[in-house]
């Protein structure tokens, strides 16, 4: 390889990739912890180094030019290779001190993880924990987290997954609301409201399979935050979907229409990247969570 011909700044390539994926200087600046003017200068320098125009403005958004789109494919491959180098290096780390990041859903982070913190600190006193709370799936291959708890088995061969149990998900409501239904069918009640995560029809189809006639639209409210759903179920005439073992933490909640709703069965998986799983500190935390977060 003729190394003399590779003259661009690798950091500029990284900035280009992040701006392309985030769609704006402001979002990319937050991702890189860099000011917008500094980021703008790096992109301008990269364009000058390559003698290409990489972005154009469409309204308030930055859009890749045709040259930028072609370059993006190659820089993405560079980023994947750089991540693999880092993952391999981390996988050879023999120390049991340092940071381990864990990605958990809102419910798991709020109800299941806090009681384990003191025990984890005693178990691994030299490990610092970064808790990432999101219902979105973290990309472990891009180092968004070292360990993640998921409710769908990953298919990527670069990931290691351990099944830690199965959750049973019912419809829940405040006990006064559920008691008012008594032994009635949901088809006999005119104002059943279910708070969903989105406007998709997955739950609607499930209700139809459970013989709900759905004479009216029960999905008049959506909310993608499970903790807010929890509060709404306490203070409104609304039902929400919750795992049984978490709903039991609130004595005011009761299962609604138990004879008219087939519960969801969801497998819980603990997941880590294959390379990271050879890191002692990641393996230590992984094994702890597998034992104490088992359902």
Q: Scanning the structure block, which residue is given the tokens 């609130």?
A: 250
Answer yes or no: same fold for 3-91 and 167-266.
no
Would you place residue 1 in the very low, low, confident or very high pLDDT band (cuts 50, 70, 90)? very low
Q: What are phi and psi of 63, to 5 degrees?
A: -120, 140
Pairing of strands 61-64, 55-58: antiparallel
Asked if the model's pLDDT at residue 92 lies above 90, the reply is no
CATH number of this structure's domain 3-91, picked from the four choices 1.10.10.10, 1.10.287.110, 1.10.3720.10, 3.65.10.10: 1.10.10.10
Provide CATH code, domain 167-266.
Answer: 3.40.190.290
Would you place residue 241 in the very low, low, confident or very high pLDDT band (cuts 50, 70, 90)? very high
Tell me which of 95-104, 195-204, 255-264 is least confident: 195-204
Would you place residue 117 in the very low, low, confident or very high pLDDT band (cuts 50, 70, 90)? very high
Top CATH class, 98-164+267-292: alpha beta
The residue extents of the domains of the chain are: 3-91, 98-164+267-292, 167-266
């Amino acid at each position: 390889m003729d190394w003399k011909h590779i003259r661009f700044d690798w950091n500029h390539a990284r900035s280009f990739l992040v701006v392309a994926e985030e769609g704006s200087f402001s979002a990319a600046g937050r991702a890189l912890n860099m000011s917008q003017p500094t980021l703008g200068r790096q992109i301008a320098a990269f364009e000058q180094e390559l003698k290409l125009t990489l972005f154009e403005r469409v309204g308030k958004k930055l859009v890749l030019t045709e040259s930028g789109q072609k370059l993006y494919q190659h820089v993405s491959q560079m980023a994947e290779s750089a991540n693999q180098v880092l993952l391999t290096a981390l996988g050879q780390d023999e120390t049991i001190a340092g940071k381990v990041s864990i990605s958990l859903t809102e419910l798991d982070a709020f109800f299941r993880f806090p009681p384990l913190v003191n025990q984890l600190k005693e178990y691994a006193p030299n490990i610092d924990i970064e808790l990432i709370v999101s219902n979105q799936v973290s990309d472990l291959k891009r180092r968004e987290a070292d360990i993640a708890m998921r409710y769908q088995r990953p298919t990527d061969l670069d990931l290691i997954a351990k099944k830690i149990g199965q959750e049973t998900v019912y419809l829940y409501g405040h006990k006064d609301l559920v008691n008012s239904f008594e032994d009635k069918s949901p088809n006999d009640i005119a104002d059943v409201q279910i708070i969903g995560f989105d406007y998709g029809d997955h739950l609607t189809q499930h209700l139809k399979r459970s013989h709900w006639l759905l004479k009216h639209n029960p999905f008049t409210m959506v909310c993608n935050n499970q903790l807010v759903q929890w509060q709404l179920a306490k203070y409104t005439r609304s039902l929400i979907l919750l795992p049984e073992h978490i709903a039991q933490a609130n004595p005011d909640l009761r299962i609604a229409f138990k004879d008219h709703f087939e519960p969801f069965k969801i497998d819980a998986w603990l997941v880590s990247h294959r390379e990271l799983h050879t890191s002692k500190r990641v393996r230590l935390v992984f094994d702890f969570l597998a034992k104490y977060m088992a359902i």
